[in-house]
Structure 1
Amino acid sequence: MKHIYLVRHCKAAGQEPEAPLTLEGNQQAELLGEFFINKNVEYIISSPYERAKHTIRPLSERLNLRIHTDNRLQERVLSIKQLDNWMELLERTYIDDELLYEGGESSNEATTRGMKVINEMLQRPEKTIVIVTHGALLSLLIRQYKKQFGFEDWKKLTNPDVYKLEVNKGEAYIERIWQ
């Protein structure tokens, strides 16, 4: 049995890659570290964005585990243009997985890169892995195991949030475990 914990980063001061966690986000990261301390985590992989790495740093330090980074876990790019109606446009991408905005990536493209990471983690020898990413990508990954997971579910994700993916003999089960 393999356990992969999919984590959305804690509250951050912005959306840019260098955005740090807020004071509340730093406190959340400490709580997240406590949450995972008895879950036998053996491997940590994160988006390279500061808010993602800082989210899992307390756990990394407690367990003396390196935080591996992977660009494929960075947030999904909806568009390179400033979009006033970005929520409406994002919602459409949950209906049409191929929909593409200028300079952005489709839901399928983002899902494909994220699933490559999950599939690689499933091949690793470690049984318990933490993956830290961002809300839009997380929602697309959850959708691979819960087909009905959509835009309204994305809006309900919290910072942080944790989903546990269990895979055993080709069978996969995912559930939200963060309270």
Structure 2
Amino acid sequence: MTNLYFVRHAHSTYTPDELGRPLSERGMTDAKRMTRLLQMEEIDHVVSSPFKRAMQTVEGIANELGKDIEIIDGFKERLLSDRPVADFNEAIKKVWSNFDFSLDGGESNNIAQERGVAATIQVLDKYNGQNVAIGTHGNIMVLIMNYFDPQYDVHFWEQLAMPDIYKLTFHEKHLIEVIRIDENNI
């Protein structure tokens, strides 16, 4: 079995710089809590989106392991639009109601999902039988989960915490089980 621990990043301080946006003070505290949870999971490798907030959320476990974070572009957040949207929640509902629809300059669910799933398959192939922590983002994480099991949808995304950890257990490339990792199950 291969266990992928998808770690939705902690709270970040908003800036228009998606790539360089850092964790907030609260986010840094929550990232330490994520490190403690991941320490109980015998993590072998750490990969991440190239976005700073995702990397900062998993850097604690990488430091504990004495390993570098492997950057995988496919785990970056989906591009909703190339310009600010008037109503974020309405925009999310539109793209989730039609997987082919995209806002101006943005990725459709199908395009973003294809990118995220390709990155997931890459990790499953490279780290077969191991435990891998993946620093990522809420929307792309749920799109990946949705590919393997359609019950993970926009309603699931709406109830995610920030940060959050979901352990996906695979046999080869077949999803066997999904467990939320939190203080209640360690």
TM-score, normalized by the shorter chain, greater than 0.5: yes
Query: Aligned ranges for residues 119-130 of structure 1 at < 5 Å?
Result: 119-125=121-127, 127-130=130-133
Which TM-score applies when normalising by structure 1?
0.93
Number of the residue aligned with 2:149: 146
**Contact kept in structure 1, 2:112 and 2:140, CA below 8 Å:** yes
Query: Aligned ranges for residues 15-164 of structure 1 at < 5 Å?
Result: 16-125=18-127, 127-164=130-167
**Contact kept in structure 2, 1:17 and 1:49, CA below 8 Å:** yes
Of the three residues 169, 173, 179, the one matched with 1:175 is 179
Counterpart CA distance in 1 for 2:145 and 2:10 is 18
What secondary structure, in the 3-state scheme, does the structure 2 residue paired with 1:144 have?
A: helix
Q: Residue type matched to 1:130 in 2?
A: A
Counterpart CA distance in 1 for 2:72 and 2:123 is 12
Counterpart CA distance in 2 for 1:159 and 1:17 is 18
Which range moves more in the overlay, 165-174 or 94-103? 165-174
Structure 1 vs Structure 2 CA RMSD: 1.5
Counterpart CA distance in 1 for 2:8 and 2:127 is 24
Between the two proteins, the alignment pairs up a number of residues equal to: 179
Runs ≥4 residues deviating over 6 A: none
What secondary structure, in the 3-state scheme, does the structure 1 residue paired with 2:161 have?
A: coil
Please give the per-residue CA displacement for 1:133-179, whole angstroms capped at 9, x wherever unaligned.
Answer: 11111111121233122222211111111111101255312232235
Number of the residue aligned with 2:2: 2
Q: Residue type matched to 1:86 in 2?
A: F
Please give the per-residue CA displacement for 1:85-112, whole angstroms capped at 9, x wherever unaligned.
Answer: 2311211211211001111000011001
**Contact kept in structure 1, 2:7 and 2:133, CA below 8 Å:** yes
Counterpart CA distance in 2 for 1:38 and 1:49 is 25
Q: Which runs of 5+ in 2 are unaligned?
A: none
Q: CA 1:97–1:66 in structure 2 vs 1: closer, same or farther (change >3 Å)?
A: same
Which range moves more in the overlay, 140-149 or 69-78? 140-149
Counterpart CA distance in 2 for 1:19 and 1:132 is 14
Counterpart CA distance in 2 for 1:59 and 1:73 is 18
Counterpart CA distance in 2 for 1:70 and 1:25 is 22
